[in-house]
Structure 1
Amino acid sequence: MTTWLNRVFCEDALEGIARIPDGSIDLILTDPPYNLGKDYGNASDQQTVADYLAWTEQWVDAALPKLKPNGSLYIFLTWRFSPEIFVMLKQRMTMMNEIIWDRRVPSMGGSTRSFTSVHDTVGFFVNRKDYYFDLDAVRIPYDAETKKARSRSIFVGAKWLEVGYNPKDLWSVSRLHREHSERVDHPTQKPLEIIERMVKASCPPGGTVLDLFMGSGTTAVAAQRCGRNFVGFELNPAYCEIIEARLAEPAADAKAPKRKPGRKAPALQE
Structure 2
Amino acid sequence: MTEPAAEAFTETRAGRQRLVLADCLTGMASLEAGSIDVVVTSPPYNIGIRYGQHHDRLPREAYLDWMDQVAAGIARVLAPEGSLFLNVGGTGVDPWIPMDVAGAFRRHLVLQNDIAWIKSISLGDETRGHFKPVNSHRFLNNTHEKVFHFSKSGAVPLDRLAAGVPYMEKSNVTRWEGAGRDRRCAGNSWFVPYMTVRSKRQKFDHPAGFPLELPERCLKLHGGQDLMVMDPFLGAGTTLLAAERAGHRGIGFEIDPAYLQAALQRLD
Do the structures match in fold with TM over 0.5?
A: yes
| SS across alignment from 1:135 | coil
TM-score by length of 1: 0.80
C-alpha displacement at 1:43, in angstroms?
A: 3.0
Quote the Cα distance in structure 2 between the aligned partners of 1:201 and 1:77: 19
Q: Once the two structures are aligned, what percentage of the paired residues are identical?
A: 29
Instruction: Indicate yes or no: 2:236 matched with 1:216.
Output: yes
Quote the Cα distance in structure 2 between the aligned partners of 1:142 and 1:121: 25
Q: Which residue of 1 aligns with 2:125?
A: none
Q: Return the structure number with greater strand share.
A: 2
1:174 partner letter: P
Quote the Cα distance in structure 1 between the aligned partners of 2:202 and 2:222: 23
| SS across alignment from 1:76 | strand
Q: Which residue of 2 aligns with 1:91?
A: 107
| 1:112-191 correspondence runs (5 A) | 112-128=137-153, 130-142=155-167, 146-147=169-170, 150=171, 159-160=178-179, 162-178=181-197, 183-191=203-211
C-alpha displacement at 1:83, in angstroms?
A: 1.7
Quote the Cα distance in structure 2 between the aligned partners of 1:219 and 1:233: 11
Moved more, 47-56 or 174-183: 174-183
1:67 partner letter: L
Q: CA separation of 1:195/1:179 partners in 2, compared to 1, >3 Å: closer, same or farther?
A: farther
Q: Which residue of 2 aligns with 1:41?
A: 52
TM-score by length of 2: 0.81
Q: CA separation of 1:51/1:156 partners in 2, compared to 1, >3 Å: closer, same or farther?
A: closer
Q: CA separation of 1:12/1:115 partners in 2, compared to 1, >3 Å: closer, same or farther?
A: same
Q: Which residue of 2 aligns with 1:57?
A: 68
Quote the Cα distance in structure 1 between the aligned partners of 2:114 and 2:183: 22
Q: Which residue of 1 aligns with 2:28?
A: 17
Q: CA separation of 1:112/1:157 partners in 2, compared to 1, >3 Å: closer, same or farther?
A: closer
Q: CA separation of 1:22/1:167 partners in 2, compared to 1, >3 Å: closer, same or farther?
A: same
Q: Which residue of 1 aligns with 2:13?
A: none
Q: CA separation of 1:25/1:107 partners in 2, compared to 1, >3 Å: closer, same or farther?
A: closer
- How well do the aligned residues superpose, as a CA RMSD in angstroms? 2.5
Q: How many residues align?
A: 241
| SS across alignment from 2:255 | coil
Q: Which residue of 1 aligns with 2:86?
A: 75
The 8 Å contact of residues 167 and 173 in structure 2, kept in 1 or not, is answered as no
Quote the Cα distance in structure 1 between the aligned partners of 2:132 and 2:17: 40
The 8 Å contact of residues 139 and 163 in structure 1, kept in 2 or not, is answered as no
| SS across alignment from 2:250 | strand
C-alpha displacement at 1:141, in angstroms?
A: 2.0
Q: CA separation of 1:204/1:51 partners in 2, compared to 1, >3 Å: closer, same or farther?
A: same
- What 5-or-longer segments of structure 2 have no aligned partner? 8-15, 91-95, 121-129
C-alpha displacement at 1:182, in angstroms?
A: 7.1
Q: Which residue of 2 aligns with 1:31?
A: 42
Moved more, 72-81 or 48-57: 72-81
- What 5-or-longer segments of structure 1 have no aligned partner? 249-270
| SS across alignment from 1:95 | strand
2:197 partner letter: R
1:220 partner letter: L
Moved more, 29-38 or 127-136: 127-136
Q: CA separation of 1:157/1:130 partners in 2, compared to 1, >3 Å: closer, same or farther?
A: closer
Moved more, 97-106 or 239-248: 97-106
The 8 Å contact of residues 26 and 68 in structure 1, kept in 2 or not, is answered as yes
The higher relative CO (CA closer than 8 Å, separation ≥ 6) is in 1
Q: CA separation of 1:107/1:182 partners in 2, compared to 1, >3 Å: closer, same or farther?
A: closer
Q: Which residue of 2 aligns with 1:194?
A: 214
